[in-house]
Amino acid sequence: MTYAEALRYLESFADYEKIPSYNYHDAIKLSRMEALLDGLGNPQRNFKSIHIAGTKGKGSTCVFVYSILKESGRKVGLYTSPHLIDFKERIRISFPKEMIPEEREIEEAEVATLVARIKSFLDKFTSASKFGPPSFFEVYTALAFLFFSIKKVDIAVVEVGMGGRLDATNVVNPLVVGVTPISFDHTDKLGMTLEAITKEKCGIIKNNCVVVASEQNATVMNCIRKAAIDKNARLYEVGKDIFYEPLTADPEGQTFNVRGIFGDYTLLTTPLLGRHQIVNAACAVGIIEALRSKGILICSHDITSGIRNVNWPGRIQVIGRCPWIILDGAQNEASAGALKEAISNIFSYKELILVFGVSTDKDIEGIGKNLFPFADKIFFTRSNTKRAAAPEALKKRFPDHEKKITLTFNVREAVELARRQAKPDDLILVTGSLFVVGETLDFLSRNGIGYEKTVKD
């Protein structure tokens, strides 16, 4: 089986990341994922894990944790979603290699081999399962766990896809659970209140595990505390047990201090921009320190190096100067607010040109409230997914900004027009959806403009 054939097979399963609307509780069944993995020998039981949920920052926190563990010389797996350009980005692995760890994505040949290995079983499972056919995310999650098992990773860092309680990743028995900031998102699936959403996300907390929670709305934190008590889990909180202090920030990165559970970490530096990334880093430090209770000790040098060497494209990523070209996948009101704050505090520019595309199920008004008054020109666009909101429909929802809005057919057209109109002292911001960011990265990389691969060879 070739990689192209493997991808076609994987894409034959329903991909709910790209479907505009579906019945969440009918489509998502954890019992189906459990049966699927049972048929594959339960590979998720063959490695230790850290499991991280949240509305915003969960991917970044995963990458901070992964980067720190990588620096410690362990063999580490990382599973995140969605990808920006290629499916392979979702599965990473690092290997100890002399003094410098080697990191890479899963390779095309490895994907093809894994799919060929399980295809016969999947075909039978799909036709005979009383739970219905698995989704793309379920199958790819199973592939990730099988890959980590085969590679005998010491520990895997696993990002929840959506929610938590019913998510396909919620089959691991983690040493530590992380809960990043929770706000309104996917309300049609997870619930219309913060309490309901938090309850779903806290469904990953297992009996007697350790939980590290980022700063939260008071209502959310109370729900997390209750969930921890119900599971007899030890809870550490950023802002109560873990503290951070921003120091400096510029387009190259930022410097900050963290007072952790067991130690102080001063003059930490990271290339990831925005105060919210300092919060994510502080949560990651807490997760790393919490591993002590499970007999895993990471030294302060590895924490410092891991935070400094983290690599996470598409999150306030600077890919061009004169004019600035910045990409960020902000896709809810809270993320858009954090993005606005970071851009305002870190960058100097004359005009802000916004390239904006968003999925129909996002809080479009909340995002627009933060970003549109902030922009001098707006190019509405759409990614190549069924979930993408039509630019014409977006324009109708924001009549107050009509004079500065231009409609475009696709991401490439929007980016080309923005670059054509931007002056050297302007700033182009591409945001609203990771799908839009991914297509922008793909287009610009093909034209030799400022894109670095997610994982360096």
Contact 185, 336 (CB under 8 A): no
**pLDDT band, residue 446 (cuts 50/70/90):** confident
Residue 35 confidence (pLDDT) above 90: yes
Residue 98 confidence (pLDDT) above 80: no
* Separation between Cα atoms, residue 321 and residue 425, nearest integer Å: 9
**pLDDT band, residue 191 (cuts 50/70/90):** confident
Token reading at 55 = 């509305």
Mean pLDDT within 167-185: 95
Token reading at 31 = 């019992």
Q: Which backbone phi and psi does 268 adopt, to 5 degrees?
A: -70, 145
Residue 89 confidence (pLDDT) above 60: yes
Token reading at 173 = 């028995």
Contact 290, 261 (CB under 8 A): yes
Residue 454 confidence (pLDDT) above 90: no
Q: Where in the chain are the domains?
A: 3-308, 317-446
Q: Are strands 427-431 and 324-327 parallel, antiparallel or unpaired?
A: parallel
Residue 120 confidence (pLDDT) above 90: yes
pLDDT tens per residue, range 260-278 = 999 999 999 999 999 999 9
Mean pLDDT within 60-66: 98
What pLDDT, on the 0 to 100 scale, is given for residue 15? 86
Mean pLDDT within 375-402: 95
Closest CA to 166 of 31, 59, 40: 31
Q: Which CATH architecture has domain 3-308?
A: 3-Layer(aba) Sandwich (3.40)
State the amino acid at position 295 in one-letter form: G
Mean pLDDT within 150-167: 96
What pLDDT, on the 0 to 100 scale, is given for residue 451? 44
Mean pLDDT within 334-344: 94
- Domain 317-446, CATH number (from 1.10.3720.10, 3.90.190.20, 3.40.1360.10, 3.30.1280.10): 3.90.190.20
Of the chain, the percentage scoring pLDDT greater than 70 comes to: 97
* Separation between Cα atoms, residue 8 and residue 112, nearest integer Å: 11
**pLDDT band, residue 367 (cuts 50/70/90):** very high
Token reading at 295 = 């007999």
SS3 375: coil
